[in-house]
Copies of this chain bind each other. A is one copy, B any other.
Amino acid sequence: MPVYKAPLRDMKFLLNEVFDYPGHYTRLQSGENATPDIVDAILNECGRFCEEVLSPLYQSGDEEGCNLENGEVTTPKGYPEAYQQYAMGGWQGLSAPEEYGGQGLPASMGLLKQEMMGTANWPFSMYPGLSMGAMNTIFLHGSEEQKQAYLTPLTEGRWGGTMCLTEPQCGTDLGQIRTRAQPQKDGSYKLSGTKIFISSGDHDLTENIVHIVLARLPDAPKGTRGISLFIVPKFLPDGDGDVGERNGVTCASLEKKMGIKASATCVLNFDDATGFLIGPENEGLNCMFTFMNTARIGTAIQGVGPAELSYQWALAYAKERRSMRALSGKKEPDQPADALIHHADVRRMLLTQKAIAEGGRAMLYYAARLADHMVEGHTTGDDKKAEAYDDKLGFLTPILKGFLTELGNEAANLGVQVFGGHGYIREHGMEQIVRDTRIATLYEGTTGIQALDLLGRKVLLMTRGGAVREFTLRVANFARKTLTDKRVRPFAVELLKLTAQWNLLTVRLMLAARKDRDMVSSAANDFLMYSGYVTMAYMWARMAAVASDKLDKGGADSEEFYRAKLATAEFYYERLLPRAQAHATSMLSPSKNLMQLGAEDMSFIG
């Protein structure tokens, strides 16, 4: 089984050549220390850590999984040591505020780290990822005292964190939450209830775990407006920054899952556990979701990472495994057969993976610039700026999370397919990528929820199509500018058609939704996928434009790299982008074809 190699050339192409991150960082306060040298050093060092420490634990972690014994969870062999290296390296605080022990670098640096860690070993990366969720929440909504007590050890990586939302009766529909919080005389609360699907709910990587918990106060209003947010530490802090008394939260069981087996998914019982209110009473959902966009982009990485990893391994196999002769004639006449890579259909699968991995990465880095501004708004107390960029990001988030995780699953499955029957065998690791990736379209809001968020909320309700108009204007402006570049012109022409179509589709759906209340929900999935294909087309055109420019200027150190970008763009436009039209047709079809069949008539068994 090969190991992961950080695709630094591609990452730096996007950062330095396509999206001008060096310039972007000079415009950020947090960018002061993110000079090109520093960024380069961090990427190289993080890549090395992921290649040498995390990647080798990917498969063994899946084989061994997590264990629950005597109420304590242990992670697979090598995980605690790897985590120690991670924490000692200061990686958890990379983009955390300096006043709580972080390095104060831009949020996007954290995303680059997450991407490499998540590609090398997604299940491992979930532990620090969940901690980040807790850190963000406490940073924004915690009191200064809470920040001192919890944020600092979290930033140092000494403590871990979780987000406790889901209960047996509800996941998406958090208004149904039942966990109770009883106020105590000392200002604290006693929490009781059961939470399920809690990633990193218990483990042996850190000396303490800080649970961020949604619960109801007595007499709280029903539904989503009666939910408050609490900090519930596994061990109560002793006041000196160390851990004290064990709190009443226990891991009742570990879920047996399809994949991400090295990530501990816990059923947590809260039994009069001591908790501390964070943020205002009954506004827990708002507080929890302040960083929803960044959390969802964090999950969108799980579309890109597996595509990259599966591509790396499938490509290596396709170069080495020989089967049959290429239809256009023998390519390796001295061998008993030609390598798989000479077969057009194998290339179709590999290029699909490549286009998804690189196009998806571009989408992430494009969005991360906006995230930097949003986070800077928050850290500097500039709420207006934070909100403005959160809105921009809010349009892209469901597209990234929904579309990229769906395509990540496709890419992972293609990796298995390139291996043929061997892809189904565990030792090659390809099927593990499929199993691990399958969760991505389910958690942090299913694809269906992302689709509704995009079409129903962001596009129609909040902006009456304005979000699409604004984004497509940007795309069309870019396209018009590149019409004169012979290599990019076909992409630009297509993009101009698509931006017009995207607006037209939006208007037609808006009109249809006035007469038909089921239209939005009926069209949402197709609209999400359509939006994803067009957004990725924009990214491929941007990359192609840079590549073409470099080739024009000549003297590039890696002409082949740029030619490969142009070839992949061509593949994307000619072989994958046509799918957008199927979604366009389907989304405009009447909601009747989904709604007319009575629930009792959907099956006639028995």
Q: Which residues of A contact B (CB under 8 A)?
A: 5-10, 166, 170-173, 175-176, 197, 255-259, 311-312, 315, 319, 322-324, 326-329, 336-337, 339, 341-351, 354, 409, 413, 416-417, 420-427, 431, 434-435, 438-439, 441-443, 446-448, 451-452, 456, 517-518, 520-522, 524-525, 558, 560-561, 563-564, 567-568, 570-571, 574-576, 578-579, 581-582, 585-586, 589-606
Contacts of A172 in B (CB 8 A): 323-324, 420
CB-based contact B438/A431 at 8 Å = yes
Closest chain-B Cβ to A263's Cβ sits at a distance in Å of 11
Q: In the bound complex, how far is the Cα of B426 from the Cα of A596, in angstroms?
A: 33
Are A256 and B427 touching (Cβ within 8 A)?
A: yes
Min CB gap A362→B, angstroms? 15
Q: Which residues of B contact A315 (CB under 8 A)?
A: 602-603
CA distance A339 to B599 in the complex (A): 10
Shortest Cβ distance from residue A150 to the other chain B in the assembled complex, whole angstroms: 27
Question: How long is the Cα–Cα vector from A447 to B423 in the complex, in angstroms?
Answer: 14
| 7 A-B residue pairs with CB within 8 Å | A7-B605, A8-B605, A173-B324, A256-B425, A329-B517, A351-B597, A579-B579
Integer count of this chain's copies in the complex? 2
CA distance A568 to B597 in the complex (A): 8
B599 touches A571 (CB 8 A): no
A292 CA / B338 CA spacing, docked (Å): 25
Complex Cα spacing A575 to B596, Å: 14
A344–B594 touching, CB < 8 Å: yes
A257 contacts which chain B residues (CB < 8 A)?
424-426, 431
- Beyond A5-B606, A258-B425, 18 extra complex contacts between A and B, CB < 8 Å: A256-B425, A256-B427, A257-B425, A258-B434, A311-B603, A315-B603, A327-B520, A327-B521, A343-B521, A344-B524, A347-B594, A417-B447, A420-B442, A564-B597, A564-B601, A564-B602, A578-B585, A581-B581
CA A326 – CA B173 in complex, angstroms? 12
Instruction: Tell me if B345 and A524 are in contact (CB < 8 A).
Output: yes
Bound complex: CA A267 to CA B171 (Å): 44
Which residue of chain B is the closest to A598 with respect to CB atoms?
A: B560
Task: State A413–B350 Cα separation when bound (angstroms).
Answer: 22
Which of A197, A315, A568, A597 has the most B CB atoms < 10 Å from its CB? Answer: A597
Given A9-B605, A589-B575: A413 touches B420 (CB 8 Å cut-off): no
CA distance A44 to B558 in the complex (A): 68
Taking a contact as CB atoms under 8 Å apart, the answer to whether A417 and B446 are in contact is yes
Q: What 9 pairs between A and B have smallest CB-CB spacing? A: A344-B521, A258-B431, A328-B517, A578-B585, A574-B589, A173-B323, A345-B448, A256-B426, A344-B522
Task: Flag if A604 contacts B446 (CB, 8 Å).
Answer: no
Enumerate chain B residues within 8 angstroms of A171, measured Cβ to Cβ.
323, 420-422
Complex-state Cα separation, A484 to B562, whole angstroms: 57
Given A341-B599, A351-B597, A421-B442, do A435 and B5 touch, yes or no (CB 8 Å)?
no
Q: How far is the CB of A540 from chain B (nearest CB, A)?
A: 12
Contacts of A574 in B (CB 8 A): 586, 589-590, 593
Report yes or no: B571 in contact with A582, Cβ–Cβ below 8 A.
Answer: no
Q: Are A417 and B442 in contact (CB under 8 A)?
A: yes
B312 touches A591 (CB 8 A): no
* Contact indicator B416/A319 (Cβ below 8 Å): no
In the bound complex, how far is the Cα of B456 from the Cα of A347, in angstroms? 17
* CB-based contact A603/B312 at 8 Å: yes
* A257-B426, A431-B258 known; A578+B568 contact, CB < 8 A: no
> Chain B's nearest CB lies how many Å from the CB of A583?
8
Closest beta carbon of chain B to A524's beta carbon, Å: 6
CB-CB under 8 A from A439, the residues of chain B are 421, 424
Which B residues are in CB contact (< 8 Å) with A258? 416, 424-426, 431, 434-435
How far, in Å, is A584 (CB) from chain B's closest CB? Answer: 8
Q: Which residues from chain B contact A173 at a C-beta distance below 8 Å? A: 322-324, 337
Task: Tell me the complex Cα distance, A197–B420, Å.
Answer: 11
Given A315-B602, A603-B315, residue A595 in contact with residue B518 (CB < 8 A): no
Closest beta carbon of chain B to A247's beta carbon, Å: 26
* Residues on B with beta carbons closer than 8 Å to the beta carbon of A7: 603-605
- The CA-CA distance from A590 to B319 in the complex, in Å, is 23
A71 CB, min distance to chain B CBs, angstroms: 21
Give A600 to B582 CA distance when docked, in angstroms. Answer: 34
Tell me whether B571 and A604 are in contact (CB under 8 A).
no
